């Protein structure tokens, strides 16, 4: 019995020695960057992404500042972001230094107000690697802000310090869409017919910003239906919607449905001025630049819509023409009857 107890003691002692020499490996706890912020900043989320295209993931921390207290107010506190990167010299075996690199839009603007998300995408083909795309999404799921960044290391930074350079920043209450070499932003106008100004941007020399970090002008601008053309637009009580729908469908047979009977006859005779230097079958696209409803005189059965419009045919684009359309009621519906050049 004594021999058995002694044998068990030896086995246990051996086990303890082996455990001391070879401790059980435990999973390293995640670095929690949400706990290092000062009290006046509120951490929102940490996302792991390879933001500098070096094959290693960084930590993207979103946080709120200038916090408005209360649940409602907190939803509209501005959001910023910083990337924490584990910098370690190549070939040197020593603990890395965690460096913070802020994602700053031009003018120290905020990235969003409600909820931000980040992704890596090739959105500027002229540049090498993927860009960092930060998008702000409102409560309805609409992207209202978008920023594009790229990493600039020691060599690329030149005289500046390493960090993330902003290549584009867009803010619009009607939605922002970032695609490859194209950003579309819609700005809703404060009027009754749910229209928006749609601006299309393209990068130049690898950036949407100029040398002064100002957004370059759009390559195309036009009035659009903010949420798409309604199915029953012919029944719309708003004459300006009829005129816009006509120019969106100008090279199709649908366009004829927006015209009065008299206007169709004028069109067949070539007497209806649409503003285009080309016939309808040569028009690829009409760009309505401005659209304004002119209230009718008391007792009048006619109303007017003023527009500025240009046309595209192949690689050609016409000059902008100003027209005033007169609309009349036919069977209870607004119909485009005749147009008047503003110069007339």
Same domain, 58 and 191: yes
For residues 81 and 154, state if they share a domain.
yes
Q: Which has the closest alpha carbon to 117: 66, 81, 73? A: 81
Residue 174 lies in a domain: yes
- Tokens 């199915």, located at residue: 231
Q: Are residues 93 and 56 in the same domain?
A: yes
In a domain, 41, yes or no: yes
Q: Quick one: 153 and 294 in the same domain?
A: no
Integer Cα distance of 134 and 123 in angstroms: 12
Q: Does 14 reside within a domain?
A: no
Question: Does one domain contain both 237 and 298?
Answer: yes
Same domain for 184 and 90: yes
Number of domains in the chain: 2
**Is the residue at 292 inside a domain?**
yes
Query: Considering 191, 206, 225, which residue would you say is the last residue of a domain?
Result: 225
* Residue ending a domain, choose from 225, 249, 269: 225
How many angstroms separate the CA atoms of 84 and 59, rounded?
Answer: 5
Q: What is the pLDDT of residue 283?
A: 97
Q: What is the pLDDT of residues 264-284, one digit of tens each?
A: 999 999 999 999 999 999 999
200 with 271, same domain?
A: no
Q: How far apart are CA 36 and CA 140, in angstroms?
A: 32
Asked if 297 and 218 sit in the same domain, the reply is: no
298-303 — which CB contacts under 8 Å span 24+ positions?
A: 301/328, 301/329, 302/326, 302/327, 302/328, 302/337, 303/239, 303/327, 303/334
What's residue 28's pLDDT? 42
Work out the mean pLDDT of the chain and round it to a whole number.
87
Same domain membership, residue 263 and residue 198: no
Give the H or E element holding residue 236. none
Q: Is the dihedral of CA 264, 270, 271, 276 positive or negative?
A: positive
Contact 324, 294 (CB under 8 A): yes
Residues 212 and 295 in one domain: no
Range of the domain at 265: 233-341
- Residue 147 has a pLDDT of 98
Q: Give the predicted TM-score (pTM) of the model.
A: 0.83
Q: How many CA atoms lie within 13 A of 293 on its CB side?
A: 18
The whole-number pLDDT of residue 343 equals: 62
* Three-state DSSP state, 175: coil
Q: What angle do CA 28, 31, 33 make, to 5 degrees?
A: 170
Residues of the chain with pLDDT under 50: 1, 3-28
Distance in angstroms (rounded) separating the CA atoms of residues 167 and 127: 11
Predicted pLDDT of residue 14: 39
Is residue 138 domain-resident? yes
pLDDT the model gives residue 106: 95
Q: Considering the domain boundaries, does residue 196 fall inside one?
A: yes
Confidence at residue 89, expressed as pLDDT on a 0 to 100 scale: 66
- The answer to whether residues 126 and 268 belong to one domain is no
């Amino acid at each position: 019995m004594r021999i058995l107890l002694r044998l068990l003691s030896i086995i246990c002692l051996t086990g303890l020695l082996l455990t001391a020499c070879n401790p059980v490996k435990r999973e390293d706890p995640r670095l929690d960057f949400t706990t290092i912020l000062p009290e006046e900043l509120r951490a929102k989320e940490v996302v792991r992404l390879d933001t500098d295209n070096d094959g290693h993931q960084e930590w993207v921390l979103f946080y709120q500042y200038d916090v408005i207290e209360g649940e409602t107010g907190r939803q509209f506190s501005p959001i910023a972001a910083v990337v924490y990167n584990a910098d370690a010299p190549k070939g040197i075996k020593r603990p890395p230094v965690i460096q913070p690199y802020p994602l700053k839009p031009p003018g120290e603007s905020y990235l969003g107000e409600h909820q931000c998300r980040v992704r890596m995408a090739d959105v500027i083909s002229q540049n090498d690697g993927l860009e960092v795309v930060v998008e702000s999404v409102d409560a309805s799921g609409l992207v209202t802000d978008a920023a594009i960044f790229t990493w600039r290391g020691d060599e690329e930074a030149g005289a500046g310090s390493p960090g993330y350079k902003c290549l584009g920043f867009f803010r619009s209450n009607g939605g922002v869409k970032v695609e490859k070499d194209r950003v579309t932003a819609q700005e809703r106008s404060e009027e009754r017919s749910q229209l928006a100004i749609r601006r299309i941007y393209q990068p130049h020399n690898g950036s949407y910003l100029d040398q002064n970090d100002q957004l370059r002008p759009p390559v195309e601008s036009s009035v659009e239906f903010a949420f798409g053309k309604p199915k029953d637009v012919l029944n719309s009580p708003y004459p300006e919607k009829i005129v816009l729908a006509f120019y969106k469908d100008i090279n199709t047979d649908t366009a004829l449905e927006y015209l009065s009977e008299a206007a169709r006859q004028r069109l067949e005779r070539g007497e209806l001025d649409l503003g285009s230097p080309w016939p309808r079958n040569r028009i690829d696209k009409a760009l309505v630049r401005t659209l304004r409803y002119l209230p009718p005189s008391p007792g009048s059965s006619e109303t007017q819509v003023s527009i500025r419009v240009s046309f595209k045919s192949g690689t050609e684009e016409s000059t902008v023409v100003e027209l005033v359309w007169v609309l009349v009621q036919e069977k209870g519906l607004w119909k485009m009857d005749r147009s008047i050049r503003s110069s007339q």
